[in-house]
């Protein structure tokens, strides 16, 4: 079902790698709601090639940008304004990567070069993107910026490793930058704290299958899917949520406020 919620709105969507990506589903949903956008991802992700399919489907252009590169971001923003024919109404930051996780380094045995690189990609890049948008005055009033996060920022999930720290930083940046973006430009900044979701980034976490089924059994409404996340993101990009800002919004079927569920009790009573 579409409601034309984003008719006439323009934006940038970071992080669509393949059809499982949360950003991919969001791009499809934004398109269905009448929004137009530029797709971007790291140049290395482009070589995998699938994003072209999404661009064709949604009538979008692709501009490669490494979210840690100042030069790439400046180029991305100035070209996007040109291509889209005006300032932006929405931006999705859907980027995450831990080199420690990827290389199998335990949290108690971090390689700090990996830690720094992962933090730069997963957390500082959110500040970088916003600082560039802010300085270029690239956002329209009542625009909306959303980044994706996970509850390991508040509670310990041992195998989430240094991504937990990156997400805590990311959520803090949303509040801090949200203040200035709100005051100066009337732009919203929020993070969505999403259920575990079967994507390339998600499945990189050790024991992910057990983790996702545990969350499913703990959540009264079940896990939120990537598609559900796309729907929620559209609501945050729309004009229906203009006073929501500087929030970390749990989108997890109720997991974050559940102490224990009947299903989990039954498993442990066997």
Taking the complex as a whole, the smallest distance from the CB of residue 184 to ligand NAD amounts, in Å, to 26
Do residues 66 and 40 touch, judged by C-beta distance below 8 A? Answer: no
Do residues 133 and 115 touch, judged by C-beta distance below 8 A? Answer: no
Question: Any contact of residue 174 with ligand NAD (CB under 6 A)?
Answer: no
Question: Any contact of residue 223 with ligand NAD (CB under 6 A)?
Answer: no
Taking the complex as a whole, the smallest distance from the CB of residue 8 to ligand NAD amounts, in Å, to 27
Residues 6+ apart with CB under 8 A from 49: none
In this complex, which beta carbon is closest to ligand NAD, that of residue 140 or of residue 233? 233
Question: Any contact of residue 21 with ligand NAD (CB under 6 A)?
Answer: yes
List residues bridging with 90 in a β-sheet. 11, 144
Taking the complex as a whole, the smallest distance from the CB of residue 212 to ligand NAD amounts, in Å, to 8
Question: Any contact of residue 197 with ligand NAD (CB under 6 A)?
Answer: yes
Question: Any contact of residue 253 with ligand NAD (CB under 6 A)?
Answer: no
Number of chain residues interacting with ligand NAD (CB under 6 A): 27
Cα distance between residue 91 and residue 261, in whole Å: 36
Closest by Cα among 171, 242, 258, 244 to 5: 242
**Residues in 103-122 that interact with ligand NAD by CB under 6 A:** 121
Question: Any contact of residue 200 with ligand NAD (CB under 6 A)?
Answer: yes
Q: Which of 54, 84, 95, 234 binds ligand NAD (CB under 6 A)?
A: 95
Question: Any contact of residue 67 with ligand NAD (CB under 6 A)?
Answer: yes
Q: What is the DSSP secondary-structure string of 187-244?
A: -EEEEEEEPP--SHHHHTSTTHHHHHHHHHHH-TT-PPPHHHHHHHHHHHHSGGGTT-
Local structure of residue 137 (DSSP, 8 states): T
In this complex, which beta carbon is closest to ligand NAD, that of residue 46 or of residue 83? 46
In this complex, which beta carbon is closest to ligand NAD, that of residue 67 or of residue 91? 67
Question: Any contact of residue 39 with ligand NAD (CB under 6 A)?
Answer: no
Q: Which of 6, 30, 148, 173 binds ligand NAD (CB under 6 A)?
A: 148
Question: Any contact of residue 145 with ligand NAD (CB under 6 A)?
Answer: no
Question: Any contact of residue 66 with ligand NAD (CB under 6 A)?
Answer: yes
Handedness of CA 177, 102, 250, 94 (dihedral sign): positive
Do residues 242 and 141 touch, judged by C-beta distance below 8 A? Answer: no
């Amino acid at each position: 079902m579409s409601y034309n919620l984003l008719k006439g709105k323009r934006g940038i969507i970071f992080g669509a790698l393949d059809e499982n990506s949360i950003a991919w589903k969001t791009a499809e949903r934004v398109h269905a709601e009448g929004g137009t956008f530029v797709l971007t991802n790291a140049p290395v992700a482009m070589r995998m090639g699938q994003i072209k399919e999404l661009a064709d489907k949604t009538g979008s252009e692709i501009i490669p940008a490494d979210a840690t590169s100042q030069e790439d971001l400046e180029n991305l923003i100035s070209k996007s304004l040109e291509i889209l024919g005006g300032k932006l109404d929405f931006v999705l930051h859907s980027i995450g990567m831990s080199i420690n996780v990827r290389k199998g380094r335990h949290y108690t045995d971090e390689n700090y070069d990996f830690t720094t690189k992962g933090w730069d990609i997963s957390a500082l890049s959110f500040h970088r993107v916003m600082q560039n948008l802010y300085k270029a005055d690239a956002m329209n009033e009542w625009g909306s910026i959303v980044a994706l996060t996970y509850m390991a920022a508040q509670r310990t999930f041992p195998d989430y490793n240094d991504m937990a720290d990156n997400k805590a930083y990311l959520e803090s940046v949303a509040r801090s930058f949200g203040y200035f973006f709100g005051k100066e430009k009337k732009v919203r900044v929020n993070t969505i704290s999403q259920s575990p979701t079967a994507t390339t980034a998600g499945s990189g976490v050790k024991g992910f299958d057990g983790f996702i089924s545990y969350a499913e059994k703990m959540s009264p409404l079940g896990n939120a899917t990537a598609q559900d996340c796309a729907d929620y993101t559209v609501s945050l990009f729309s004009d229906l949520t203009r006073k929501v800002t500087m929030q970390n919004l749990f989108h997890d079927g109720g997991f974050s406020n559940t102490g224990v569920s009947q299903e989990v009790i039954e498993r442990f009573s066997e």
